[in-house]
Structure 1
């Protein structure tokens, strides 16, 4: 079936993590799963455009478990964007650093997971859903838990700042478990900062429970090392009358795979997914999304956009499931791409699987080049070609950027996007 023994890479990585004493039950089950399934083979359907196992096979012999790098308060503050005033949670090669963080403890709790709390992990992002979930289960060194209490309204966002720094090659394994109780509301902001261009493998799992009538906004900026191999498994359970909104902006990396799953578990709930990927060089970004409608009167909205140049590659695979009981579902999905070079490629596959008969669902995708007529129109009105080009590209990207709920973070991300569009495209 494949030229790579399916257990080879998993066994190598597991062999680098022999002395992890916490979370024994989840580690045991995950190791058993990996021994049977291994990591995805290059031709397996879910990973056929993103051969992460093959990529890891080329480099993993030189890698080792990550340890906190040299990091100080001055460096941290340089990465705190202008206008931010909330709590700051700092992670150093996947490990939470309390001395560099700013945690007020108002209206929510934050803690490093202890052994007796093992039962929280793996209930949402299940081992069998993806081999990289199982690999994180078996190898993560320290997990963190955030709990927002019932009826709590967290007025200022919680900023999760991840610093990745490799020497010759690190295996970084962040783990988050977030629980937002009934009638609560919170905004999370996440940024990944690579401190050098050395290679690393980051394998992250985030689980979020959004309880009844709770509202959660989660925005992520991915600016990985150009040599980074990255897998993010992000899964949410969304309950009655609750809302969850995800925004993901991907700018760099060697090979990045984002798995995002929204489980709509009751009536009246809503899931929103927005993504933007600006790719140049040989960066490869794969967004795999899943929305599972299980009950009637729920809604999902999804919009992903890509701008690609040089020899970059984008992949979008979006699945919407509408179960038999999920009557009156309203589901929308769209993926649009602009290719700026002949060598850039995109593989897009929007999918609908519907078992109910009273639903309103639509999906679609487009791939093309810049509108030459619009470009000519702007040049005719005095704009230089590159300026006109950047303006059109920013207008294309702006529909996703405006979905970021926090004003300061949206401005910060917008500046990053404008810099990219002005300098690289």
Structure 2
């Protein structure tokens, strides 16, 4: 257990939690108080000392209250060519009055939804931050896509964050995709302050039979923001889930992504790019659990690190004894642009079945000097040539984004960061 305990940093947060969801809150609080925050000696947080970071920045956390968001604020962050619905959050609180109503699906606050099994997918006993969120979040968003409903337009979740030092923002989202449904979500967080606030986010996704769910996420908050996100997904027979996570900024960011393959012929895809500079620290932890025969998972994360930034990748694939005929692929590739940049990468496979096709691997290196020389020899200046090579490296992940306006925005944003805007 870390030095941050129930007696200090999060006590006010726990004490001020609303009375709604009382039974699950009580259990989650007990779980959190038993666990405490993870310390460096714990294997899961070996390279990412979130507790120490929080202690150095902030002594006591309180919930951040929602603030006024205007229509102009929303319009200013929409991607060019975006044609879809928009769900707006202010410091984690859903604002229905500024949101549109996606046709054919149910959207409400969690407090208005009945019998939502919060914590059944993102189990609080698995992670202290998930337990803390469940014990103390104020309210959240409930989304239900009916059976056979194909949502043609993407749904953009815009989170405006404007918290003072010592405040915590705790978004919570529950998504149900019914049997034979299709839906795409884009999760975009926007900082409107430079203070060192803390975001503790939990998203639970349940994909029904033959459902197709895309979940794209862009993290580009202020350099002082500290964030932990837990995104956990259950998918069943013949279903497909695709996640693309782009991490570009923040002080310390921890992304926990868990995918449980609970039906035959299910497919899970997990892709990510982390493009880091300054002293930004991003830790991507992924878990893929194959429990049933004839399922497939694909995982590709790529990192580009400059200055004194630090990246962590820990990907785990579990193939249970009954999960014969499993196909599982995992790869993590990194380019270091500075002698001071660090990456710790640990792909893992645990297999109990004998009729499977599984592979994993990682690479850490620098730019290909021969390729750089080739471009310079054809009249391209060094900065542009470097940017082109780096974009080509990251582009393999960006191509996985099917929604055109967001893909174009992500490409232009990354090209600009890499100095290869053309």
What TM-score, normalized to structure 1? Answer: 0.96
Query: What's 1:47 paired with?
Result: 45
1:398 partnered with 2:389:
no
Structure 2 match to 1:176: 173
Equivalent residues of 1:6, 1:41 under 8 A apart: no
2:211 aligned to which of 211, 214, 228: 214
3-state secondary structure, aligned to 1:114: helix
Deviations along 1:192-219, one digit per CA (max 9) or x if unpaired, are 1111211110000000000000000111
Residue 35 of structure 1 corresponds to which residue in structure 2?
A: 33
Quote the Cα distance in structure 1 between the aligned partners of 2:62 and 2:222.
17
1:169, CA displacement in angstroms?
Answer: 3.5
| Other-structure match for 1:298 | 295
Task: Describe the SS at the equivalent of 1:374.
Answer: helix
2:346 equivalent to 1:346:
no
Q: Secondary structure at the match of 2:229?
A: strand
| Deviation at residue 116 of structure 1 after TM alignment | 6.8
Deviation at 1:115, TM superposition (A): 6.7
* 1:70 counterpart residue number: 68
Aligned equivalents of 2:11, 2:260: Cα separation in 1: 30
Change in Cα spacing, 1:92 to 1:400, as seen in structure 2 (3 Å) is same
The TM-score, its normalising length taken from structure 2, stands at: 0.97
Q: Secondary structure at the match of 2:193?
A: coil
Distance apart, 1:318 and its partner CA: 0.2
After TM superposition, give the deviation of residue 89 of structure 1 in Å: 0.2
5+ residue gaps, structure 2: none
Checking the alignment, whether the CA contact within 8 Å between 2:59 and 2:166 is kept in structure 1 is no
Q: In structure 2, what is the Cα distance between the partners aligned to 1:53 and 1:168?
A: 16
CA distance in 1, matches of 2:99, 2:14: 27
Query: How far apart, CA to CA, are the structure 2 residues paired with 1:97 and 1:108?
Result: 17
For residues 326-358 of structure 1, the C-alpha deviation after alignment (integer angstroms, 9 at most, x for no partner) is 000000000000000000000000000000000
Paired position in structure 2 for 1:82? 80
Match of 1:204 in 2: 201
Q: Is the 8 A contact 2:304 2:337 kept in 1?
A: yes
Higher mean alpha-carbon deviation, 74-83 vs 325-334, is at 74-83
In the aligned structure 2, how far is the partner of 1:115 from the partner of 1:88?
Answer: 20
Number of matched pairs: 420
Q: State the Cα distance separating 1:60 from its structure 2 match.
A: 2.9
Aligned to 1:25: 23
Runs of at least 4 residues off by over 4 Å: none
Residue 227 of structure 2 is aligned to residue 230 of structure 1: yes
1:56 aligned partner: 54
Q: Distance in 2 between matches of 1:109 and 1:119?
A: 13
Give the deviation of 1:14 after TM superposition. Answer: 3.4
Q: In structure 2, what is the equivalent of residue 257 of structure 1?
A: 254
Question: Residues 3 and 51 of structure 2 are in contact (CA less than 8 Å); yes or no, is this contact kept in structure 1?
Answer: no
Please give the alpha-carbon distance, in whole angstroms, between the structure 2 residues aligned to 1:115 and 1:7: 32
* Paired residues of 1:215 and 1:243 also in contact (CA < 8 A): yes
Report the Cα distance in structure 2 between the residues aligned to 1:170 and 1:423, rounded to whole angstroms.
Answer: 37
User: Structure 1 residue 133 and structure 2 residue 137: aligned?
Assistant: no
Q: 1:163 maps to what in 2?
A: 160
Work out whether residues 6 and 40 of structure 1, in 8 Å CA contact, stay in contact via their aligned partners in 2. Answer: no
Matching residue within 121, 124, 128 for 1:124? 121
CA RMSD after TM alignment: 1.5
Do the aligned partners of 1:7 and 1:34 also contact (CA within 8 Å) in 2?
no
User: How much does 1:412 deviate?
Assistant: 0.7
CA distance in structure 2 between the partners assigned to 1:191 and 1:16 by the alignment: 25
Displacement after TM superposition at 1:5 (Å):
3.3
In structure 2, C-alpha distance between the alignment counterparts of 1:166 and 1:100, rounded to whole Å:
20
Structure 1 unpaired stretches of 5+: none
Partner secondary structure for residue 10 of structure 2: helix
Partner-residue secondary structure (3-state), 1:343:
coil
8 Å contact kept, 2:182–2:212:
yes
Q: Give the Å deviation of 1:117.
A: 2.8
